[in-house]
Structure formats: C-alpha cells, structure tokens
Amino acid sequence: MDFSDDNKKLAFASDKVYVIDIESNKLINSFQCSNSTIRALKFFSNTSSIVVGSFDRTARVYNYLSGNLVKVFKEIDGVVMSIDVKNDLISIYSAGKGIYIYNSNNFNLEKFIKYDNSLITCLKFIDDRIIASDWNGDIYLFSSENNSYEKIFSNDATILKIDISNDKRFLIAGGPMVV
C-alpha cells in the first residue's frame, strides 16, 4: 500500500493493483500486473507512474492511469520484497541478492549493493543513503557512495515497517512489537 506524495491517491494490491482517488473515493484504475503475489508498490513523485514488485522475481513500472506497462527491470534476480522512490532514484530490494538502485528518468541501473545476510522487510531513502530493516530485527544504513552498510539498531523481533520523519530526526519502526 502507498499514498501519493500529495496524499490524494492510494494504491494497494490484492489480485490486481488498485489506485483510488481519496478525495472523491472513486477508483482511478485497476489493472493486472503479475501472475504472482504483489509484495511492494510505490508511486513516483509528480507522474502517473507506479513501480510494482512481486514474488515472481520482477519489478515493473506502469502508468497507473492507463494500466500500460512502461518498463520491466530485467536485472532483478530474486523475490522483490521492498521498493522506495525518491526524486530521480528507485531502490528495489531483491531477496537474497541486494539492493538495486535505478535512475527513474531513464531506468538505467546506477548501483547494486550486495546484501544477503537476512531478509530485508522494508527500505527507505534518506538523502543519499538507504535505511533498511530486516527479518532479524536489525536496522541498517546503506551507503550508495561506497556500496557499504552498517548496523545502527538491533531488536529482538522482526521489524516489518520503517519510516523517517520529514525533518529526518526520528526513525519509526514497527512489527510484532513497536520499537
């Protein structure tokens, strides 16, 4: 599930991707995009595009108004578990492989950060870095500059969702137990 940057649209997936106009409570569009369970989706800023990742080891960009396929990321080689979009970058975590970082203007692969320690459950851009939570209850800070990462927090329970306050002073994490 994802809200558009202006909080006027909501996208979620079950058997299809559904995009709803929140103000009018009307369906903008629904479309089939995978024969497998959709695990992650994220709106692009200020466009009519959405990126969708699934258990079939694919990540795809669609025009959510028409439902037309725009791009398939062919480098992905594992189940897509988490996606984030910020400005002109897309980050996609592929289970057991690592984080793929693409340019959202031309869809070229910019960087790959290998990470096969544990299953990443959620990732978010923070400036030029990526913060990610994993199945073991750890939170890591990834640097795309030198393809490295460091553990910044550890918990006894799985962290399923992370977010960062707008002023970047607070990290919010949640799972079976709220941190």
Average pLDDT over residues 148-174: 82
26 plus 42 within the same structural domain: yes
Count CA atoms within 13 Å of residue 116 on its CB side.
6
Query: Quick check: 88 and 104 in contact, CB under 8 A?
Result: yes
78 plus 123 within the same structural domain: no
Compare 98 and 128 and report the one with higher pLDDT. Answer: 98
**Residue % of the chain over a pLDDT of 90:** 59
Does pLDDT of 23 surpass 80? yes
> What are 32-74's pLDDT values in tens digits?
987 788 999 999 988 899 999 998 899 999 999 999 999 999 8
What are the structure tokens assigned to 33, written together? 């995009």
Domain end residue (candidates: 116, 146, 166): 116
Does the CA dihedral 24-25-30-35 come out positive or negative?
positive
102 plus 131 within the same structural domain: no
Residue numbers of the domain that contains 88: 1-116
CATH number of the domain that residue 130 is part of: 2.40.10
106 plus 171 within the same structural domain: no
Domain end residue (candidates: 77, 93, 116): 116
Q: How far apart are CA 113 and CA 104, in angstroms?
A: 17
Kindly report the pTM of this predicted structure. Answer: 0.89
147 plus 171 within the same structural domain: yes
Q: How far apart are CA 72 and CA 62, in angstroms?
A: 9
81 plus 145 within the same structural domain: no
98 plus 143 within the same structural domain: no
172 plus 99 within the same structural domain: no
51 plus 128 within the same structural domain: no
Domain end residue (candidates: 95, 116, 137): 116
| Total count of domains within the chain | 2
Give the pLDDT of residue 106: 94
